[in-house]
Amino acid sequence: MLTTIQIGEKIAVARKLKNISQADLSDQLAISAQAVGKWERGESMPDILMFQKLADVLGTDVNYFVGGEKSNISVTPAQKEEKPDDYEKPGWNMSAGNWVDVDFSGLSNLAKKFSGSNIKRTKFIGSEISGLIMGGNNIEGCDFSDCDLSESVFGGSNISQTAFSNSNLRRTNFKNSNIQSCDFQNVDFSNAVFKSSSLNKLELQGAKFLGTTFMNCSFNNFTFHGEIRDCAFQGCGTNKVVFSNVTFKNNFFKNCKLKRATFENCFADKISYSFIMLSKADMTNITLIEG
């Protein structure tokens, strides 16, 4: 039996190959779009009857979802959506654009074509833009709330005063970027990677850090909350950073400078506690826990 996360990834792949949105799939299954989103993020799993419905709608078989076999996914003529005049939607290339004060909420299927752009005060609320590659962008005052940005890449970009609240940023990669005064409340950062980037004045209340990697990053003037589990911090420095009511479990710290970090009512398992101590942190308000 596959894990919940693996099953969710298979559902997402089959749905995208079928070229339907989460909303379209939920309509055909007579469930909510939120339920489909939770499946694909690995937060819940369909029951056995729903697996059969999924197989029928997505043109595969139940074993594809639960057995681990490399079952074929196909769209038979009877299953293929009929389109007026058999038209095909042309691809959109939004790179090298000047996008200011516009509303792109609900946008989908952008693939890799959104680099080198100036993007200001633009809304992308509720967009399904996973796998998006944004390189060399200036992103200022924008709203990516409730978006699926999983497996996306933000490289060499300046991102400021922008909201990502309640978004899926699983396996998203931020590299060589400056991230300033952004709202990441309730964001899922599972297996996300931050590399050679500057993080300043962020809102992180309710953010999920599971398997997240930070490499050669600078943290400035913001607060971590909640649980930090199976994460790696390498070559990171802190300035006016607070860890408030944080529980550390199975985390790795290497060549980090935590002397200037503040810890308030924190808890850490043995391995995390040892790494944090070696990073020259003030351990006064960090309690060692078992397990």
Task: Read off the pLDDT of residues 141-200 as tens digits, 9 standing for 90 and up.
Answer: 999 999 999 999 999 999 999 999 999 999 999 999 999 999 999 999 999 999 999 999
CATH superfamily of 4-82: lambda repressor-like DNA-binding domains (1.10.260.40)
Angle 207-212-214 from CA coordinates, rounded to 5°? 110
- Band (pLDDT 50/70/90 cuts) for residue 78 is very low
> Domain residue spans in the chain?
4-82
Report which of 93, 89, 98 is spatially closest to residue 110, judged by C-alpha positions. 93
Using alpha carbons, select from 63, 61, 143 the residue that is nearest to residue 105: 143
CA distance 224 to 262: 10
List, for residues 85-113, the tens digit of each pLDDT value.
555 556 677 888 899 999 999 888 665 66
Identify the pLDDT of residue 286: 98
Looking at per-residue confidence, does 55 or 278 come out higher? 278
pTM value surpassing 0.85 = no
pLDDT in tens, 111-152: 566 789 999 999 999 999 888 888 899 999 999 999 999 999
Note the pLDDT of residue 72.
53
